[in-house]
C-alpha cells in the first residue's frame, strides 16, 4: 500500500492548480511525451520554473483525467553545520534544481546529522533556517520539491531505531568516515552517533522509498550500506513473512540506486587542491561561502593557492589547484570545458583570477539577493517548511507503518 502512495500520483490532482482547461485537453491522447507547463512561483525570479508532467500511457480523452504517471523519487539534504559553501552548491544543491523538474524530489535540512559531532546549540536552529532559505534562493521550487527539516518528520528517528536492530555492528565499524572522524576527534570521546549515523542516513533514504540518491564520492560507502540494509530487512521481515502478519508482502523497502553528480562537481579547498572544500575546515579562507560579500570573494580568490606552471590547463594531476579553479570557473560561468580550456590556455594567474572573481560574483549575487528576500519573510519560510514536512510525513508514515507491521509490533 505504501509503495502505491509513494510512487504514483495523479497527473491532474498533482498538477491541477496549474492546468488550464486548454492544457488539459492538450494532454489527451499524448503518448510517451512530456508536457511542460510554465509556472511562476514566489521568489523564483531569474530561474526558469516549469512543471514537467510525464504522460507515459496512451489514454483516451475519457480516461485521461484519472490516468497515473510514475515519477522516480529522489531525496537529498545538506547538514546545517556551518555556512553553505560553493562545494555544497555545485556538488549538490545546483544539481537538485534540474532534478526537481524530472523527478519527485524531497530536499531536507539534515539537522539530526548536525549533532553527530560537538555543536553549538545557539546556532543549530539559525543554521537550519538559513540553509532552508539557501535552498530556495538557489532555485529549489517549493511547488515542485518538498523542502523540510529532518527533525520535523518524526519517522526518521523512529525508523532508525528499527533499522539499528537489523544492522550488524561490523558494517558500521567498516565505515571509513567513522574511522577518520573518530580518530580526529579522539577515539574514546566521540559520541555513539558518529558510529550509528549511517543507519540514520539509511532511514532518511528508505523511508521515502527513494529510487535514486545523489551521492558524492565520500558518501558512496554509506549508500552501499543503505542498499545492503534494505535488502537485509526485506529478507528478514518482508515477503511471505510479512504477508502472514497481514501485510502486503513483497519488499518493504525499495533498494535505491546512486546518482553520481556530473563530473567536475567535487570542489576542492582554495588553500589545498587535494582536500575537498568543507564547512568544517578551520580556515574560512579555504572556501567560498554562498553568502560571502563581493569583497570577501575577491580577497579569497586573490589569496587562493596556485602554482608556478606556465599557462592554465585542466586535468594535470600535478596541478590540482589549477584544475579546481578552472572547473569552478566552468561551472559558475556555464561554459563548456572546451570553451574554458581554450579561453584560459593563454592566461596566467594574474589575468585569470579577476575573471574567476567576476564570474563568481555574477553567479552568486542573484542568489544572495533572493536569500535576503526569503530570509526576511519568515512567514513564507515557515509555510514552506510546514508544508514540506506534511507531505514528507505522509510518505514516511506509510513506510514506517509497514515496517512496524512486518516486524511484528502490536498495531495502534
Ligand atoms: N567540496 C565539495 N564538493 C562537492 N560536493 C560537496 N559536498 C560537500 N562538500 C562538497 C556535497 O554537499 C552535500 C551536503 O554535504 P553535507 O553538509 O551533508 O556534509 P559534507 O559532505 O560533510 O559537507 P561539508 O561541507 O564537508 O561539511 P562538514 O565539514 O560539516 O563535514 C553532499 O551531497 C556532499 O557530497
Render pLDDT for 211-264 as a digit per residue (tens, 0 to 9): 999 887 777 888 999 999 999 999 999 999 999 999 999 999 999 999 877 655
Query: Mean pLDDT lowest for which of 45-54, 145-154, 172-181?
Result: 45-54
Residues linked to residue 107 through DSSP beta bridges, in sequence order:
76, 147
Same domain as 239, residue 94: yes
**Given this model, what pLDDT does residue 263 score?**
58
Domain span at residue 225? 74-263+384-406
Render pLDDT for 100-130 as a digit per residue (tens, 0 to 9): 999 999 999 999 999 998 899 999 999 999 9
Answer for the pair 205, 214: CB distance below 8 angstroms, yes or no: no
Give the CA radius of gyration of the chain.
23
Specify the ligand 1 atom closest to the Cα of 276.
1
Distance from residue 88's CA to the centre of ligand 1 (Å): 5
Q: How confident is the model at residue 383 (pLDDT cuts 50, 70, 90)?
A: very high
Q: How confident is the model at residue 183 (pLDDT cuts 50, 70, 90)?
A: confident
**Given this model, what pLDDT does residue 8 score?**
25
**Given this model, what pLDDT does residue 318 score?**
97
In angstroms, rounded to a whole number, what is the distance separating the alpha carbons of residues 198 and 180? 14
Same domain as 102, residue 15: no
Distance from residue 87's CA to the centre of ligand 1 (Å): 7
As for how many domains the chain has, the answer is 3
- Whether residue 120 is contained in a domain is answered as yes
Listed residues 19, 44, 70: the one ending a domain: 70
Same domain as 205, residue 85: yes
- Whether residue 390 is contained in a domain is answered as yes
Higher pLDDT, 192 or 178: 192
Same domain as 109, residue 59: no
At residue 404, the 3 state secondary structure works out as helix
Query: Mean pLDDT lowest for which of 126-140, 159-173, 214-228, 345-359?
Result: 214-228
Specify the ligand 1 atom closest to the Cα of 216.
35
Same domain as 179, residue 291: no
- Pocket test residue of 84, 86, 87 for ligand 1, highest count of atoms within 8 A of CB: 87
Same domain as 95, residue 224: yes
Distance from residue 356's CA to the centre of ligand 1 (Å): 22
Same domain as 192, residue 124: yes
Listed residues 70, 86, 114: the one ending a domain: 70
Specify the ligand 1 atom closest to the Cα of 219.
35
Report the relative pairing of strands 104-109 and 50-55 from DSSP bridges. unpaired
Same domain as 97, residue 237: yes
**Given this model, what pLDDT does residue 20 score?**
31
Q: How confident is the model at residue 66 (pLDDT cuts 50, 70, 90)?
A: low
At residue 36, the 3 state secondary structure works out as strand
Same domain as 170, residue 99: yes
- Whether residue 279 is contained in a domain is answered as no
Domain CATH number, residue 336: 1.10.240.10
Q: Please tell me the residue having the least CA distance from ligand 1 atom 23.
A: 278
Distance from residue 251's CA to the centre of ligand 1 (Å): 31
Specify the ligand 1 atom closest to the Cα of 217.
35
- Whether residue 198 is contained in a domain is answered as yes
Residues linked to residue 73 through DSSP beta bridges, in sequence order:
104
Q: Which residues line ligand 1 (CB under 6 A)?
A: 78-79, 81, 87-88, 91-92, 216, 219, 265-267, 276-280
Q: Please tell me the residue having the least CA distance from ligand 1 atom 22.
A: 278
Q: How confident is the model at residue 396 (pLDDT cuts 50, 70, 90)?
A: very high
- Pocket test residue of 216, 265, 272, 283 for ligand 1, highest count of atoms within 8 A of CB: 216
Specify the ligand 1 atom closest to the Cα of 79.
17
- The per-residue pLDDT of the chain, averaged, comes to 84
- Whether residue 29 is contained in a domain is answered as yes
CA-CA distances (angstroms) from residue 242 to 102, 114, 248, 359? 33, 35, 7, 56
Q: Please tell me the residue having the least CA distance from ligand 1 atom 35.
A: 216
Same domain as 97, residue 243: yes
- Pocket test residue of 278, 281, 323 for ligand 1, highest count of atoms within 8 A of CB: 278
DSSP output for 119-187: --HHHHHHHHHHHHHHHHHHT--TTTSEEEEGGGSTHHHHHHHHHHTTS-HHHHHT-HHHHHHHHHH-G
- Whether residue 169 is contained in a domain is answered as yes
Domain CATH number, residue 395: 3.40.50.620
Listed residues 52, 70, 88: the one ending a domain: 70
Query: Mean pLDDT lowest for which of 42-46, 50-54, 230-234?
Result: 50-54
Q: Which residues are catalytic?
A: 181, 276, 279
- Whether residue 322 is contained in a domain is answered as yes
What is the pTM for the complete model shown?
0.83
% of the chain surpassing 90 pLDDT: 70
Distance from residue 264's CA to the centre of ligand 1 (Å): 14
Same domain as 321, residue 305: yes
Same domain as 100, residue 44: no
Q: Please tell me the residue having the least CA distance from ligand 1 atom 11.
A: 88
- Whether residue 9 is contained in a domain is answered as yes
Higher pLDDT, 40 or 161: 161
Higher pLDDT, 281 or 405: 405
- Pocket test residue of 76, 77, 78 for ligand 1, highest count of atoms within 8 A of CB: 78
Amino acid at each position: 500500500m505504501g509503495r502505491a502512495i509513494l510512487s504514483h500520483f495523479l497527473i491532474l490532482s498533482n498538477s491541477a492548480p496549474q492546468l488550464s482547461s486548454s492544457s488539459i485537453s492538450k494532454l489527451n491522447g499524448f503518448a510517451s511525451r512530456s508536457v511542460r507547463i510554465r509556472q511562476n512561483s514566489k521568489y523564483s525570479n531569474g530561474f526558469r520554473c516549469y512543471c514537467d508532467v510525464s504522460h507515459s500511457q496512451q489514454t483516451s480523452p475519457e480516461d485521461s483525467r484519472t490516468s497515473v504517471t510514475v515519477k522516480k523519487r529522489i531525496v537529498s539534504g545538506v547538514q546545517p553545520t556551518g555556512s553553505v559553501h560553493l562545494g555544497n552548491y555545485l556538488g549538490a544543491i545546483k544539481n537538485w534544481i534540474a532534478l526537481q523538474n524530472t523527478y519527485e524530489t524531497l530536499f531536507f535540512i539534515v539537522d539530526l546529522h548536525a549533532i553527530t559531532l560537538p555543536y553549538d546549540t545557539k546556532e543549530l536552529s539559525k543554521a537550519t533556517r538559513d540553509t532552508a532559505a539557501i535552498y530556495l534562493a538557489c532555485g529549489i521550487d517549493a511547488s515542485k520539491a518538498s523542502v523540510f527539516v529532518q527533525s520535523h518528520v518524526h519517522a526518521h528517528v523512529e525508523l532508525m531505531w528499527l533499522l539499528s536492530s537489523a544492522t550488524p555492528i561490523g558494517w558500521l565499524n567498516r565505515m571509513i568516515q567513522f574511522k577518520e572522524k573518530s580518530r580526529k576527534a579522539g577515539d574514546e570521546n566521540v559520541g555513539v552517533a558518529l558510529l550509528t549515523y549511517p543507519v540514520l542516513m539509511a532511514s532518511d533514504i528508505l523511508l521515502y522509498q527513494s529510487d535514486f540518491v545523489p551521492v558524492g564520492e565520500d558518501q558512496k560507502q554509506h549508500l552501499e550500506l543503505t542498499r545492503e540494509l534494505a535488502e537485509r530487512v526485506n529478507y528478514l521481515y518482508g515477503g511471505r513473512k510479512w504477508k502472514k502478519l497481514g501485510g502486503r508482502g513483497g519488499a518493504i523497502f525499495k533498494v535505491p540506486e546512486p546518482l553520481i553528480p556530473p563530473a567536475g562537481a567535487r570542489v576542492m579547498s582554495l588553500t589545498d587542491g587535494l582536500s575537498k572544500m568543507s564547512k568544517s575546515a578551520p580556515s574560512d579562507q579555504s572556501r567560498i561561502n554562498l553568502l560571502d560579500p563581493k569583497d570577501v570573494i575577491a580577497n579569497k580568490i586573490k589569496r587562493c593557492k596556485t602554482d608556478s606552471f606556465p599557462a592554465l590547463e585542466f586535468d594535470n594531476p600535478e596541478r590540482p589547484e589549477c584544475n579546481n579553479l578552472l572547473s569552478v570557473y566552468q561551472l559558475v560561468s556555464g561554459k563548456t570545458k572546451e570553451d574554458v580550456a581554450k579561453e584560459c590556455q593563454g592566461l596566467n594567474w594574474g589575468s585569470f583570477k579577476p575573471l574567476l572573481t567576476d564570474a563568481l560574483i555574477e553567479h552568486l549575487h542573484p542568489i544572495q539577493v533572493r536569500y535576503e528576500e526569503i530570509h526576511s519573510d519568515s512567514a513564507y519560510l515557515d509555510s514552506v517548511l510546514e508544508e514540506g514536512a506534511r507531505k514528507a510525513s505522509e510518505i514516511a508514515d506509510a513506510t514506517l507503518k509497514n515496517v512496524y507491521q512486518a516486524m511484528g509490533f502490536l498495531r495502534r
